[in-house]
Chains A and B, each alone.
Chain A
């Protein structure tokens, strides 16, 4: 299958706390897992990604974890700020000759002051 499930659909956190978004995928041949952030009225932009040969990646307050056995990956935002409020999409790509991404339905993150 090609489905990517993403939860939660809405996430509200207090400023300064952490936020976690979880995704699962069906195709065990998936080898690349990016996360996109979409601010209101804007287009989605890549913020971090992880390949299947890694279990963890961190950059600028963002951590992604990948559990290939469980076919699950997650995004963790540490020390959330109001500017982190946006829609976040996870995605998965199959191995092989394609750059097609299958996206989750998205998570609306609201960081409350």
Chain B
């Protein structure tokens, strides 16, 4: 079974650019999460979708971060415009009925904003 797939694995952006991160959840999972991981803040929830509907759009991240779930097997996270403080690892995770509580994480996208 394929796990959660994230692309790209690494992204380098200039300040002010727009970047789009992609995620494919585990097939059949209907919950999808975007987290940002930094050493200072740990794992911060950015967005949460259930059956493609946006359940939560992390308050502090609303202005420049926009997550979408175009279909049940694909999600994007757009950061526009990027700032150096956005440098972090962005993790996508999914869970579903069969796995009940377990979140399966992707390998992450490491973003560096110069």
Interface contact tally, CB-CB below 8 A? 49
Which residues, 39 to 98 on A, are CB-close (under 8 Å) to B?
42-46, 49, 89, 93, 98
Number of B interface residues, CB 8 Å?
21
Pick from B4, B42, B45: contact of A100, CB below 8 A. B45
Give the chain B neighbours of A36 by CB distance below 8 A.
103
Which residues, 67 to 112 on B, are CB-close (under 8 Å) to A?
91, 95, 101-103, 105-108
A103 contacts chain B at the CB level, 8 A cutoff: yes
B31 contacts chain A at the CB level, 8 A cutoff: yes
A99 pairs with B31, CB closer than 8 A = yes
Query: Bound complex: CA of A45 vs CA of B48, how far in Å?
Result: 19
A105 pairs with B95, CB closer than 8 A = no
A45 pairs with B55, CB closer than 8 A = no
3 A-B pairs closest in CB distance: A105-B42, A43-B105, A103-B43
